[in-house]
Amino acid sequence: MERIILVGHGSPKKDANNVEIIGGLLHRMLHPGCADHCVKVAYLQFAQPDIGAAIDACVAEGSRRVIVHPFFLYGGVHVTRDIPAKIAEGKKKHPGVEFVYTQSLGIHEGLARIIVERIRSAGASAPEDIERRSFEIISQEADLSMLPAERQPIVRRVIHATADFEYASGLVFHPDAVRTGISAIRAGKDILTDVEMVRTGINKRLLARWGASVSCGISAGPAEGDAPQGKTRAEMGIERALKGEHTIGIIAIGNAPTALLKVIETFKAEQPACPPLVVGVPVGFVNALESKVLLSSQKFPFITNLSRKGGTPVAVAIVNALLTMAAEDA
C-alpha cells in the first residue's frame, strides 16, 4: 500500500493553510473514484498536522511506501534540509517502510502556463470579459471541430455552464433540432419549462426581442395535494400546458423525467404536424437516463444527453445558446 504526503510551509495566518485543497485535487487526479485517504497533507511549521504525524498516519493505515512531495517553488533550506530531516526521523521510527522524496515544484513549463493564464485573467473583471475568457479556455481544451458548426455554440455554452467537458461528445441532436429551435424563436413562439428554476434562467431580454414568453408547467398545474397518486406536479403541469391553447416552440425539461415522458407520450399520441423542439436533459438516478434514451429515438426534434447528468444549468444553457444564435444570425 502506498501513501502520498504533500508538505506545505504553513503560515500563522490560518486561512493561508489550504494545501488540503491541492491535496484533494491531486488525489482525484491520481486515484479517480477512490474513497481512501491516499493523499495526505502536512505542514512544516505553524499548522497541523506536522510531517511526523502525517507519516505515522500513513503507516497506521498499512502503507509500506510513503511518497513525500515538498509543495515549494524552489529547493531552499526547507526543501534540502528541514523536510529531509523529518523524513529521516520517520525512517528510524518505521524501519520497514520505504520513503520516496520528490523534487520541489522548481522550474517547469507548466508553471509558466499558469502564470500566462493568471496574466490573461487579471483584466477579466467585468462579466463579459470573464465569459469571453471562459470560452477561450473551452476552445483551447476541447476540440469541437468535428461537430457540425450549428451545434458548436450550444455544446460550448453547456460546457461553460457545467465545467464538464464530457458534454463535448455527450449531447445528442435530432438533425432538425437547431433549425427548429431557432425558427421557433424567430417566429415568436413561447417556451415551456418543467420547473421554475429553468424558467428563471432563460434570458428574457433576448426572448423579448421576438415578442415571446416563457412559462413553467408547474405553475399551470395542480397544487401539491391535488396531483393524482403516482403523478408528479411537473408531469401534471406539462400535461395541462400541452392541452391548452398555446404557441409553444420549445419545451425545456431540466429536472423531471416524468415531465419528459409525458411530452413523449403526448406527441406520440397526437403526432403534431409541427412539433416544438424538446430539450430533454433531466438529471437523476430514477428514470432520468431512461427518459432521455426514449427521447433520442423519437422522430420529432430534440436535444438530449445519454447519461444521468443534466439538470437546470444544461437546459438553460441550451435554450440561451439558441436565443443567442437566433439574434446573431437574424
Catalytic residue among 27, 94, 160, 174: 160
Cβ burial 269-301 (10 Å sphere, 16+ → b, else e): eeeeeebbbbbbbbbeeeebbebbebbbebebb
Q: Answer yes or no: 78 catalytic.
A: no
Runs of H (alpha helix) within the chain: 19-30, 51-60, 77, 83-93, 109-122, 127-141, 152-162, 167-170, 177-186, 196-201, 204-208, 217-220, 233-243, 257-270, 288-295, 312-329
Q: Mapping DSSP to helix (H, G, I), strand (E, B) and coil, where does residue 306 land?
A: coil
Residue 328 makes CB contacts below 8 A (sequence gap 6+) with none
For the sheet containing 2-8, what is the strand order? 39-43, 2-8, 65-70, 98-101
201: exposed, middle or buried (Cβ count in 10 Å: 0-12, 13-18, 19+): buried
Q: What is the DSSP string of 262-285?
A: HHHHHHHHH--SSPPEEEE---SS
Residue bearing cell 528541514: 82
| Residue among 279, 277, 276 nearest 304 (CA) | 279
CA–CA dist 27, 238 (Å, integer) = 43
Contacts of 278 (CB under 8 A, 6+ apart): 250, 251, 253, 260, 263, 264, 267, 295, 298, 300, 301, 302, 303
Q: How far apart are the C-alpha atoms of 107 and 110, rounded to whole Å?
A: 9
| Residues identified as active-site | 160
